[in-house]
Structure 1
């Protein structure tokens, strides 16, 4: 699913567009005991309660595609009789009215979801009458020819509110506040089937994780049975290894900076595209070549890529590039640079030592205090450039 398709489903979570037929929930304590189960027609919920659920469902379809929202496909064995896909289809087709299927689903989640505290499993069934679209990309609500029937699950941590004082309006006094158990925004979730090409894709599922570094592979494998892609953190680490293996021990600052700038330029060029920019081995090779990596070092690039990522792997540019920061670190110094002005940093050999050279203008601050760059020497009005040794 791309950004447009995810947004189209998110738009349903409003009173005017609501396509949710049924909502079920299971409250689980820290010892994995089911403390509460509920089953309701969604439209029967009080308005204020429904709005709170809308917020949770929207959050389950939020974040960055490829980082927080992962498109996963079912392998062939998962689609065989008795496989995880068949179970999810039965659950969807039951419209959440089969108590035995619901219990089995909750048991699967509880057995595989790793969380030490209380949490709330929310599962909804919805039927979206997909409007057709004309050549001008405008929706034609009277031209629908497909209904997208789906499940959305959200797992929300439940935490005790903070202790404190509050104002009791009835008694007109300040008193100790009653601590409540609060349902937080979701930590994990999924949408099944996926909504690809504005239609039902029974072979795929969209998985949500609040933290890209905590995918919980066991739950993905046992509950969904889908093929898990490389996480955003793993992609970044893999990319760093490809750079280090390709450049070798003598990798220089300018080349690494050029790779950073080339990637950011590509991201900027594709920012209006609904699909995230994915780079395979051939496209990544072009990035390195355009960044000025020596021809000699590029001779082993294909092998380095395959050993670290895999022959047919793709890396999302948004996962491996730093668009909001550009940091240079030594054991004792950290330099934070505007990513658009990484060219301000130069490398030079001064007195036989490698140095990072930073040109500065008349404005420089030290802990918020305006200072001059350094003392003037020999009555010269020229200000020297500040030099930081590179370890």
Structure 2
């Protein structure tokens, strides 16, 4: 799915937009025991309650594609006869009314998720009459091309509040408020089937993980029986390690400055051009950047080998997972320098009388502890 398709489905989670009639829920304690289950009708809720439920579900489609939102693919064999795919299809096709399928799904999640504390599993179903968009991009609401039927799952930690002194308006008095339990934003979840090319794609699902350091691989394996990419934070750390180990003596400030600058430029161009599909780069793209920096052929070969070992030969990675376009940092054991990424040219490294230095060009506006100083 691309950003436009995700946004189109996100807009469904409003009372006046969705065809969601009810929400299934399963409250699980820290011992993996089901405390309670519910099947609540949105029509019977207050407006405030239904809006809060929809807002929680909507959060499962938030974040960055390739970082928080990840496309998962099913093999053809799974779609034809896979137990895990058949269960998801039954949940969708029955609009969550097949009790055996719902209970089987809850049990599968509970037995294969590593979340500390209590949590809530939410399931909902929606049908969307996909509006027709003409070649000139005009939206035609009265011309529906097909119906997109899908389920959305959100898994939300339930955290205790702290006892506190609270003001009660009716009594016009302060009283102690006891500890209570609040539903937190989703930690993980998914949309099935995917909404690709504005049509249902039963060969794909869109998976969500709030924490870029965690991909909940055990949950993905249980529900989808497929591999999930390395977490975004781990991709960045691994890429940095591959560069440092492979480039050896070629791993200079100038080379890393160029890698950061060129990858950041790719991200910016993609954003400026408003490309619908997520940006992904291959190993070959990074090697072209290294070659332009004059990296030795032997070190290029070392990078090739280490990249294959860590990521795989044919893997495409989002550059947003590899560099932070808003941050450029130089660090020593005792000093950390934060640099505007667009002005990394203000720094250079140099050896003077046998000692290594990081030089910063400082023409004006220099302050020490908030006090302006002059450099003579």
TM bucket, shorter chain: over 0.9
Q: How far 1:320 sits from its partner (Å)?
A: 0.4
Q: Are 1:72 and 2:72 counterparts?
A: yes
Do the aligned partners of residues 234 and 80 (structure 1) sit closer, same or farther apart at CA in structure 2, a change above 3 Å counting? farther
Q: Take 1:179 and 1:250, find their aligned partners in 2: how far apart are those partners?
A: 58
Alignment: residue pair count: 374
Query: Counterpart in 2 of 1:176?
Result: 176
Do the aligned partners of residues 225 and 55 (structure 1) sit closer, same or farther apart at CA in structure 2, a change above 3 Å counting? same
Matches within 5 A, 1:157-172: 157-172=157-172
Deviates more, 1:152-161 or 1:223-232: 223-232
Q: How far 1:235 sits from its partner (Å)?
A: 2.0
Query: Counterpart in 2 of 1:377?
Result: none
Matches within 5 A, 1:29-40: 29-40=29-40
Do the aligned partners of residues 41 and 228 (structure 1) sit closer, same or farther apart at CA in structure 2, a change above 3 Å counting? same
Which digits, 9 at most, give the CA deviation of each residue in 1:188-223, with x for residues without a partner? Answer: 110000111111000111110110211111110012
Q: Take 2:291 and 2:130, find their aligned partners in 1: how far apart are those partners?
A: 45
Query: Counterpart in 2 of 1:11?
Result: 11
Is the partner of 1:142 in helix, strand or coil?
A: strand
1:311 to 305, 313, 316: 313
Query: Counterpart in 2 of 1:352?
Result: 354
Deviates more, 1:277-286 or 1:51-60: 277-286
Q: How far 1:28 sits from its partner (Å)?
A: 1.1
Contact 1:262 1:290 (C-alpha < 8 Å) held by counterparts: no
Q: Take 1:138 and 1:22, find their aligned partners in 2: how far apart are those partners?
A: 32
Q: Take 1:147 and 1:320, find their aligned partners in 2: how far apart are those partners?
A: 38
Query: Counterpart in 1 of 2:345?
Result: 343
Is the partner of 1:132 in helix, strand or coil?
A: strand
Query: Counterpart in 2 of 1:387?
Result: none
Query: Counterpart in 1 of 2:211?
Result: 211
Deviates more, 1:64-73 or 1:20-29: 20-29
Is the partner of 2:81 in helix, strand or coil?
A: coil
Query: Counterpart in 2 of 1:388?
Result: none
Q: Take 2:223 and 2:160, find their aligned partners in 1: how far apart are those partners?
A: 28
Query: Counterpart in 1 of 2:290?
Result: 288
Query: Counterpart in 2 of 1:366?
Result: 368
Contact 1:22 1:96 (C-alpha < 8 Å) held by counterparts: no
Q: Take 2:107 and 2:311, find their aligned partners in 1: how far apart are those partners?
A: 35
Contact 2:264 2:325 (C-alpha < 8 Å) held by counterparts: yes
Which digits, 9 at most, give the CA deviation of each residue in 1:74-100, with x for residues without a partner? Answer: 134433425211111011111111212
Q: What is the TM-score of this pair, normalised by structure 1? A: 0.91
Contact 1:22 1:126 (C-alpha < 8 Å) held by counterparts: no
Query: Counterpart in 2 of 1:331?
Result: 333
Is the partner of 1:278 in helix, strand or coil?
A: coil
Contact 1:78 1:226 (C-alpha < 8 Å) held by counterparts: no
Which digits, 9 at most, give the CA deviation of each residue in 1:224-279, with x for residues without a partner? Answer: 22331232123213322332243214421111111110111111111121222111
Q: Are 1:118 and 2:118 counterparts?
A: yes
Q: Take 2:164 and 2:363, find their aligned partners in 1: how far apart are those partners?
A: 50
Query: Counterpart in 2 of 1:380?
Result: none
Q: Take 1:99 and 1:355, find their aligned partners in 2: how far apart are those partners?
A: 68
Q: Take 1:243 and 1:275, find their aligned partners in 2: how far apart are those partners?
A: 27
Q: How far 1:282 sits from its partner (Å)?
A: 2.1
Q: How far 1:160 sits from its partner (Å)?
A: 1.2
Query: Counterpart in 2 of 1:200?
Result: 200
Is the partner of 2:31 in helix, strand or coil?
A: coil
Deviates more, 1:100-109 or 1:222-231: 222-231
Deviates more, 1:240-249 or 1:258-267: 240-249
Contact 1:66 1:316 (C-alpha < 8 Å) held by counterparts: yes
Q: Take 1:206 and 1:248, find their aligned partners in 2: how far apart are those partners?
A: 39
Contact 2:250 2:295 (C-alpha < 8 Å) held by counterparts: no
Q: Take 1:145 and 1:209, find their aligned partners in 2: how far apart are those partners?
A: 31
Deviates more, 1:107-116 or 1:300-309: 300-309
Q: Take 1:290 and 1:330, find their aligned partners in 2: how far apart are those partners?
A: 27
Q: How far 1:142 sits from its partner (Å)?
A: 2.2
Q: Take 2:44 and 2:3, find their aligned partners in 1: how far apart are those partners?
A: 31
Contact 1:129 1:144 (C-alpha < 8 Å) held by counterparts: yes
User: Which runs of 5 or more structure 2 residues have no equivalent in the other structure?
Assistant: none
Is the partner of 2:21 in helix, strand or coil?
A: strand
Q: What is the TM-score of this pair, normalised by structure 2? A: 0.94
